[in-house]
Amino acid sequence: MPNANNDTHAPQTERSAQTTQALNQVQRRAVSELLRVSPVADDLARRFQEAGFTLALVGGSVRDALLGRLGNDLDFTTDARPEDVLKIVRPWADAVWEVGIAFGTVGCKKDSFDIEVTTYRSEAYDRTSRKPEVSYGDSIEDDLVRRDFTVNAMAVALPEKEFIDPHNGLEDLAAQVLRTPGTPQESFSDDPLRMMRAARFAAQLDFTVAPEVVAAMKEMADRIDIVSAERVRDELNKLILGAHPRKGLALLVESGIADRVLPELPALRLERDEHHRHKDVYEHSLTVLDQAIDLEEDGPDLVLRLAALLHDIGKPKTRRFEKDGRVSFHHHEVVGAKMTKKRMTALKYSNEMVKDVARLVELHLRFHGYGTGEWTDSAVRRYVRDAGPLLTRLHKLTRSDCTTRNKRKANALSRAYDGLEERIARLQEQEELDAIRPDLDGNDIMQVLDIAPGPGVGKAYKYLLELRLENGPMGRDAAVAALKEWWAEQQS
């Protein structure tokens, strides 16, 4: 990949051997990645060239190529206006979509590649707007300077494969540092969401955020207030689903941005009492998140990760110093579930996700009633019934919630939970616990009691469900006899 518009490759005397080796490595990776996508990219570039326009692979696609992790999502930039882009890609692509055309972006699919082509542009917020104002630019240099970070401000002009790096993004990539092309103040003023992107990329790429960028985030944290809840939520999700979410979350807290978008997280930094009678709830929550991630089996699980992060957010409101010197957090799981619903609703999460995460927060302490393993089969059935389809996640959350350094205590908790899971498995095999329901359904109840649909049927169903949870499967005859007996008592 030829050099281009900068002095990226300075003499050896001006650069350490280690840096040079890192740069060579990322360039080798990039060549390999670009060769893989070259047939599609070059074909598209020639079509733009024949129409009198330029085309370049840009931004995250170049960054990921240099990191050796370029997928099938390709981002291009061009001097062609959106209407011209449509004329070029429609005869060529397998499918075309115009969802982002108001922002200068045309999307299309070709073979296995999802492609976005965006006209050179500059966009900025005014002081109060939640939507950026978009204007088109005339050069790729103008386009790159408006990018969020130098590692995303590189391009490869096609089809000649000229590497364009006016802001030394390649060196920052090799050093794993996040900087802005211009001053961070200008960048964050243009789009305040970039402050959250700094934390997101730290979490995804395990990069360090440059000190001047962190300072600007602290200085301008209040600017995040003009960004819509949906955009904040989407960045938060990407951060939490990253490989190193603790790193990104810690930056949000340190910079003060979390105080504005997820205030329940920094609130966990409770002042320690002089006798240190309770653990650091903030650090505990981040550790629980780390441990939950270790238990994931089928890739990142947003519901589990959110529940792990938020499971103790009710503790600050419920902390009490007891007369015997202990610190208590009575019913913090109930308070925390309500707080979770409120925050996630404000961030515009789906109703289903709000319900699932809040339910896990509410149930995360339930296992500790198991204690010495003396739960009855009835209690185990209720545990399974209350968890419902979240049971597997509840297992992982509960195991993750053990952060004690006392190995004996940790091993005892682990053995107890092993025992509970074994009992659940045995009961599931015997009783089909995943579909706990009474031995009689609503039609059966109406027939046995000779009653019409109404509240009485619901009360009878609830009674039979309690019997089922308490006793396990009863069989039809026993259930009919119990129902008739209960009904007679109700009538008297």
Walk along the chain (492 residues) and give the pLDDT tens digit of each residue. Answer: 544 444 444 444 445 666 666 666 666 677 667 777 888 999 999 999 999 999 999 999 999 988 888 889 999 999 999 999 999 999 999 999 998 888 899 999 999 999 999 999 865 556 566 565 667 888 999 899 889 999 999 999 998 888 899 999 999 998 999 999 999 999 998 889 999 999 999 999 999 999 999 999 999 999 999 999 999 999 999 999 999 999 999 999 999 999 999 999 999 987 554 444 556 899 999 999 999 999 999 899 999 999 999 999 999 888 888 777 788 788 899 999 999 999 999 999 999 999 999 999 999 988 876 655 577 888 888 888 888 889 999 999 999 998 877 788 788 788 888 888 888 887 776 655 555 677 788 888 888 888 888 888 888 888 888 777 777 777 888 888 888 888 888 887
* Same domain membership, residue 379 and residue 309: yes
The Cβ of residue 44 has, within 10 Å, a number of other Cβ atoms equal to 26
> What's residue 369's pLDDT?
66
> What's residue 18's pLDDT?
63
DSSP letters for 165-228 = -TT-HHHHHHHTEE--SS-HHHHHHH-THHHHHHHHHHHHH-PEEPHHHHHHHHHHGGGGGGS-
**What is the enclosing helix (H) or strand (E) of 338?**
helix 332-346
* Same domain membership, residue 224 and residue 82: no
What token pair was written down for 222? 């209040």
> What's residue 221's pLDDT?
97
* Same domain membership, residue 194 and residue 47: no
Rounded to whole angstroms, the Cα distance separating 471 from 219 reads 62
Q: What is the pTM of this model?
A: 0.79
User: Residue 223: which CATH number?
Assistant: 1.10.110.30
Look up the domain containing 427 and give its range. 269-435
* Same domain membership, residue 98 and residue 153: yes
Total count of domains within the chain: 4
* Same domain membership, residue 76 and residue 59: yes
Rounded to whole angstroms, the Cα distance separating 250 from 398 reads 23
Of 129, 148, 175, which residue is a domain's last? 175
Residue 84's nearest CA partner among 51, 42, 55 is 51
* Same domain membership, residue 54 and residue 17: yes
Instruction: Supply the angle between the helices 193-205 and 211-220 in degrees, to the nearest 10.
Output: 140
> What's residue 384's pLDDT?
86
As a whole number of Å, the end-to-end CA separation of the chain is: 90
* Same domain membership, residue 65 and residue 8: yes
Contact 414, 373 (CB under 8 A): no
